Structure formats: C-alpha cells, structure tokens
C-alpha cells in the first residue's frame, strides 16, 4: 500500500544518502561496537559532519530547519538495518527538542550548535532506582543556594550515560508543592561538573552498543543559568515531549516487524525441511501472513499519527495506543520470526537474533506497555 506521508523528491534523496552512509560508515563496524559495549564518540561527530543530527534545528544553530519526516526517515533506515543501539535518534529527536523548546536564546546559542555538529552528545535522566514510569516518585533533589542549585540523588538506566556531554536531569525543587507535579524542574548538567559522577556501564541482554549507565549527583553545584525553562515546570515539559518520544518508539516497533518479516521471507524460501522449502508449509505461511497483516495495520496507524503530530495536534491517547501496540508487535514479530529460523535464529551471525534481543526493551522504555494501557484506560473514563 502506498504510504500517506508526503515524501518529496528531497526526502527520497535524503533516504538514499542516509542509507548509503549507514551501509558504508556504520554497518561494517557495528559488530565491534556491540562487543565493546559503546559507540565511539567520533561517530556522532561523523553524523554531524554529514548533517544527520538534529536536522530540524534552525539554520542559525547549524541545522537544516527540516521537517519531521527527515527524522522519520532516519529512524526507519537505522532500525531496519538492526542498528537501533546507535541511539542517535535519542540525541536528535528526544533530548535536543527540550533545548529547542525550553532553553533561553543564550542557552540555545551555547548548546545547540554543538548538538547539531555532534561535538556534544545528549542524554536525559528521569529514571531512578525506585522511580521508573512513576516520575512523581523521584527522589533526586535540587536545592537553590545563592546563584546555584545543589543537586543530590541518582539516576539509572540512562541511555548514552557514558558518552553524554549534556544531561537533561529531572529533580525535585519543591517536594511540598501543590499540586505535586509542580515539584519537578529540569536542569542541564554538563560533563565535568564537580559532584557529577558516572557509575558502571550497565550490561544488558540487548542494545549492546548503546551505553547505558548509572549517574550520581553528590552536592553537584549547577549554576542557575542551567535551569531549563521555569522552576516547577519540569513535569509538564516531560509530558509535552513524551508524545514525540513515544511516537518514535511506535515507529521503531513497526519498522522492526517489517524488517523481521523481510529477513524471514527470504530465509524460508531457501531453507528446506523434509525435502521442500519451509515457505511451503501452511504454518510458515500463516505465521508470516499474521505478521504482515499486523505490520500493515500498524504502519497505516503510525503514519496517520505522524501527520497529526506534524500538524501540532494533541494525540497523547492515540500515541499511547500506538506505543503499546506497535512495540509489542515488533517484539512478537521478532520472536515468531526467530522461531522460523530454528537454531540458526539463536546465532548472533544472523540479523534476526539482534532484532530479537534489541526489541525486548521497546515494551519497557518510554513508558512500559502496562503504563500505556493505564493511560488509555484513564482517557476512556475508566
């Protein structure tokens, strides 16, 4: 089915160029980065040199002032190749928009150009050991002392936590605020700030090349100029940006399902069992037909949401549905497709295995599936 997104010739040229860049500069080295447990910092600089970071940024900050479809293309091409662990989309389309929306003109001049060039790598720190999807349960505190804020607390499961130069940190500035959501503020903590330490890199079952870390703040003194937006508005800012974050997650789920389907169709046509191609067995046909049907339905839904998001509509309910359904689909597709590969699917040399382990986290990050269902139910008046 032809997609409804208004891709132009320029978009298609970008897709081709970006795909070639990934094939030439990233794919040949990615397995080594998986072994190393981290993507080299210079790769972000290489993305920036080619204009592939924060393409939406205004020209005065080095960006191309491009529309959201360029971000969509970058996510699609990256995930389809099994390169999700690069997490350049976290930098460009999840964290950097906080700076674009809430930073002062002076802060933007200070931070955004290096984000676009890849000289500064971004991360966002919300999750704590006892506060994941429930952001209001966070314990990290930021106390105003003179012209500084003193930050104390810890964060965990922070993507790009080792590489990050700028970390957007959520902390409570007034634990007694009413309503309670006004207790949270956002701060930009820079690499090298005294009292800011990184813990060990967390070893994971998937996304091996993506550096995930614990962060610690021990009397970390932050200049008041690093407050992002208004004090007490942090929770609101996080909610405003979660729409795009969860839409990107949903898109990744659909692309994963499509990529697994393509890999498996090619494989079952060649693989023989009991003297005939695996593709000729009814079970194989039905399994892949189910995935194809679900992926097509999900693709139509997500593309419609992309259009609505670009038009500036509030689609929190629909994006919550999509994040739940598409991410569950992506992992389910990877699981069923791996089954059709048999023992080979369990071997790292087959790309289906990476899709399987990398897709597992998608039903947890950016809001677990259970949280998405709770949000949907609440908006149904339940």
Q: What is the pLDDT of residues 264-317, one digit of tens each?
A: 999 999 999 999 999 999 999 999 999 999 999 999 999 999 999 999 999 999
Q: Looking at the predicted structure, is the pLDDT value of residue 374 above 80?
A: yes
Rounded average pLDDT over 46-67: 98
347 membership: H or E segment, kind and range = none
Q: Looking at the predicted structure, is the pLDDT value of residue 181 above 90?
A: no
pTM above 0.75, yes or no: yes
Domain spanning 123-232: CATH superfamily: Butyryl-CoA Dehydrogenase, subunit A, domain 2 (2.40.110.10)
Task: Report the CATH architecture of 236-379.
Answer: Up-down Bundle (1.20)
How many H-runs (helices) and E-runs (strands) does the chain carry?
12, 10
Q: Are strands 184-190 and 196-201 parallel, antiparallel or unpaired?
A: unpaired
214 membership: H or E segment, kind and range = strand 212-223
CB 365, CB 358: distance < 8 Å? no
Q: Which residues on adjacent β-strands are paired with residue 145?
A: 148
How many other CB atoms are there within 10 angstroms of residue 360's CB atom?
A: 18
Q: Looking at the predicted structure, is the pLDDT value of residue 368 above 90?
A: yes
pLDDT > 90: percent of the chain: 94
Rounded average pLDDT over 125-131: 87
CB 44, CB 88: distance < 8 Å? yes
pLDDT of residue 130: 79
Local confidence band at 178 (pLDDT 50, 70, 90 cut-offs): confident
Reduced to 3 states, what is the DSSP secondary structure of residue 344?
helix
Domain ranges of the chain: 9-120, 123-232, 236-379
Tell me the catalytic residues. 245
pLDDT of residue 232: 95
- What are the angstrom distances between the C-alpha of 310 and each of 24, 97, 106, 376? 31, 14, 27, 22
Distance in angstroms (rounded) separating the CA atoms of residues 84 and 86:
5
Q: How far is CA 378 from the centre of its chain?
A: 25
Q: Looking at the predicted structure, is the pLDDT value of residue 215 above 70?
A: yes
Nearest to 298 by CA among 261, 268, 338: 261
Distance in angstroms (rounded) separating the CA atoms of residues 59 and 61:
5
Q: Looking at the predicted structure, is the pLDDT value of residue 128 above 70?
A: yes
Distance in angstroms (rounded) separating the CA atoms of residues 91 and 121:
7
Kindly report the average pLDDT of the chain as a whole number.
96
Local confidence band at 180 (pLDDT 50, 70, 90 cut-offs): confident
- What are the angstrom distances between the C-alpha of 312 and each of 240, 291, 309? 12, 31, 5
pLDDT of residue 132: 67
pLDDT of residue 260: 98
Distance in angstroms (rounded) separating the CA atoms of residues 92 and 199:
24
Cis bond leading into 164, ω under 30°?
no
CB 215, CB 196: distance < 8 Å? yes
Distance in angstroms (rounded) separating the CA atoms of residues 70 and 56:
8
CB contact burial 247-257 (16+ within 10 A = b; e otherwise): bbbbbbbbbbb
pLDDT of residue 133: 66
Local confidence band at 223 (pLDDT 50, 70, 90 cut-offs): very high
140-149, 177-186, 204-213, 294-303: which has the minimum mean pLDDT? 177-186
Rounded average pLDDT over 323-339: 98
* Domain covering 9-120, topology: Butyryl-Coa Dehydrogenase, subunit A; domain 1 (1.10.540)
């Amino acid at each position: 089915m032809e997609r409804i997104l208004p891709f132009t010739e320029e978009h298609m040229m970008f897709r081709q160029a970006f795909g070639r860049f990934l094939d030439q500069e990233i794919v040949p080295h990615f397995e080594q980065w998986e072994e190393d447990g981290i993507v080299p910092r210079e790769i972000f600089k290489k993305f920036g040199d080619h204009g592939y970071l924060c393409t939406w940024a205004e020209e005065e900050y080095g960006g191309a002032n491009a529309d959201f479809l360029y971000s969509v293309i970058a996510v699609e091409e990256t995930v389809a190749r099994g390169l999700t662990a690069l997490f350049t989309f976290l930098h460009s389309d999840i964290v950097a928009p906080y700076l674009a929306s809430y930073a002062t003109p002076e802060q933007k001049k200070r931070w955004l150009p290096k984000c676009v060039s890849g000289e500064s790598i971004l991360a966002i720190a919300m999750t704590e050991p006892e506060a994941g999807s429930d952001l209001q349960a966070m314990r990290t505190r930021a106390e105003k002392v003179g012209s500084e804020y003193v930050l104390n607390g810890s964060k965990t499961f922070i993507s790009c936590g080792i590489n990050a130069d700028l970390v957007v940190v959520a902390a409570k500035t007034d634990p007694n605020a009413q309503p309670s959501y006004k207790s949270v503020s956002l701060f930009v903590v820079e690499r090298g700030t005294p009292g800011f330490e990184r813990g060990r890199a967390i070893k994971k079952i998937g996304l091996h090349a993506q550096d995930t870390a614990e962060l610690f703040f021990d009397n970390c003194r932050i200049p008041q100029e690093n407050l992002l937006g208004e004090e007490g508005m942090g929770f609101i800012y996080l909610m405003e940006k979660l729409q795009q974050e969860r839409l990107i997650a949903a898109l990744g789920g659909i692309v994963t399902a499509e990529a697994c389907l393509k890999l498996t169709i090619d494989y079952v046509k060649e693989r023989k069992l009991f003297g005939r191609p695996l593709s000729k067995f009814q079970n194989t046909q039905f399994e892949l037909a189910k995935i194809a049907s679900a992926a097509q339905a999900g693709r139509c839904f997500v593309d419609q949401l992309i259009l609505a998001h670009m038009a500036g509509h509030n689609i929190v309910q629909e994006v919550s549905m999509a994040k739940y359904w598409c991410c569950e689909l992506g992992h389910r597709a990877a699981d069923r497709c791996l089954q059709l590969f048999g023992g080979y699917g369990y071997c790292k040399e087959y790309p289906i295995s990476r899709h399987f382990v990398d897709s597992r986290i998608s039903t947890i990050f950016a809001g677990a599936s259970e949280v998405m269902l709770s949000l949907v139910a609440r908006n149904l008046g339940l």
